[in-house]
Structure 1
Amino acid sequence: MKNRDVAWDPASQPTFWINHVSRLLMRDFEARLRPLGFGMAYLPVVMALEEQGPLQQKQLVSLIAVEQPTMAALLSRMERDGVVVRTPHPSDKRSSRFDLSAAARERIPDAKRVLAEIADLALHGLGPDERSALFSMLRHVAANLGEGRDIFPPPQIAVE
């Protein structure tokens, strides 16, 4: 069978735009979170520690569904940046627990405000039905790509 050249115009594909928007969002999130001492990679750990309190590394690995070496490197960076503190586990002297630093806890409301502002900017001009349809379509795309579990609960769309 002869190889045929397939014409492909990336900008005509929704997947191109999904990737492009993701990159723009990450750029803006990172730029606005860095002055607060956070990065986007930190947020799943920050959210877990804010909600559940001190956790062991193995618990964070399970909650966030990343590999242990990835979590170890992330926690090292977060500790270096003063976002988390490591303390000995009270009953297992071979283990440590991680918790948010006092400074990080103080900055969380500002980080959440920044995230909300950027999300609002990104969705500006879309009405409640359009936002709901967008959420639904993106969740469907994620399911098609093998996302077998919900990372976040379905969003509550505020009527403007």
Structure 2
Amino acid sequence: MNEDVLSTPGHLISLAARGFARLSESRLKPLGFGVGQLPVLVALQNGKASTQRDLARFARVEQPPMAQMLARMERDGLIQRTPDPADGRSSRIMLTKTAQERMPEAIGALFRGNKETLTGFTDAEAEQLVDMLKRLIENLDQIASSESSLRDP
């Protein structure tokens, strides 16, 4: 049996991810946000992270790209940094008032986009899709973790 590589879950999920990214980018750009900034914005809004290290961990990116993103976000007036009273070498990062004011509209736009893309799906199917994607991501994380531990003894 010859499988069609273009019909594999990996390829289809990649296509879906790029489609979601394009849709989200087009809806976030007028608000001054980028789709790649979303994990940082949400983490800061929800108080899940307030340092560069924590944000990088939360967003699952390395420190150098996170530093670059935070520099752009600061330049664009979305975040501000203040010295960390507990650690003089570190700074606390928080959303600016402007970013806080735009967040509800941005989140609404993203939820509308997700709802539109799930047209024709029942609520149960949409929940099942989310559950399956979460399990898939857990599997990918476990594989990456075990492979990285084999490379870095």
Q: Shorter-chain TM-score category?
A: 0.7 to 0.9
Q: Is 1:125 matched up with 2:120?
A: yes
On the 8 A contact 1:57/1:71 being kept in 2, the answer is yes
Q: State the AA in 2 paired with 1:27.
A: R
* Structure 2 residue 73 is the aligned partner of structure 1 residue 78: yes
TM-score between the two structures when normalised by the length of structure 2: 0.80
SS of the aligned residue for 1:95 comes to strand
Measure how far apart 1:7 and its partner are: 5.6
Listed as ranges, the matches of 1:1-150 within 5 Å are 9-52=4-47, 55-147=50-142
> Quick one: structure 1 residues 18 and 71, their matched pair in 2 at CA, closer, same or farther if it must change by over 3 Å?
same
Structure 1 residue 8 displacement after superposition = 5.5
Unaligned runs of 5+ in 2: 144-153
Aligned residue pairs total 143
Q: Deviations over 1:30-85 (max 9, x none)?
A: 01101101111111111111111882223323433432212211111111111111
- Contact (CA 8 Å) 2:31, 2:106: kept in 1 or not? yes
Cα pair distance change 1:116/1:147, threshold 3 Å: farther
Tell me, yes or no, if the aligned pair for 1:49 and 1:55 is still in contact at 8 Å: yes
TM-score normalized by the length of structure 1: 0.77
Task: Kindly report the root-mean-square deviation, in angstroms, between the aligned alpha carbons of the 2 structures.
Answer: 2.4
Structure in which a larger fraction of residues adopt helix: 2
Larger radius of gyration between Structure 1 and Structure 2: 1
Task: Give the distance between the partners of 2:87 and 2:7, measured in 1 at CA.
Answer: 56
When residues 137 and 92 of structure 1 are mapped into structure 2, their CA distance, relative to the original with a 3 A threshold, is closer
CA contact (8 A) 2:81 2:94 kept: yes
* Contact 2:28/2:109 (8 A) holds in 1: yes
The alpha-carbon deviation at position 124 of structure 1 amounts to 1.1
Task: State the SS of the aligned residue for 2:82.
Answer: strand
Specify every segment of 5 or more residues in structure 1 that has no aligned partner in the other structure, as ranges: 1-5, 149-160
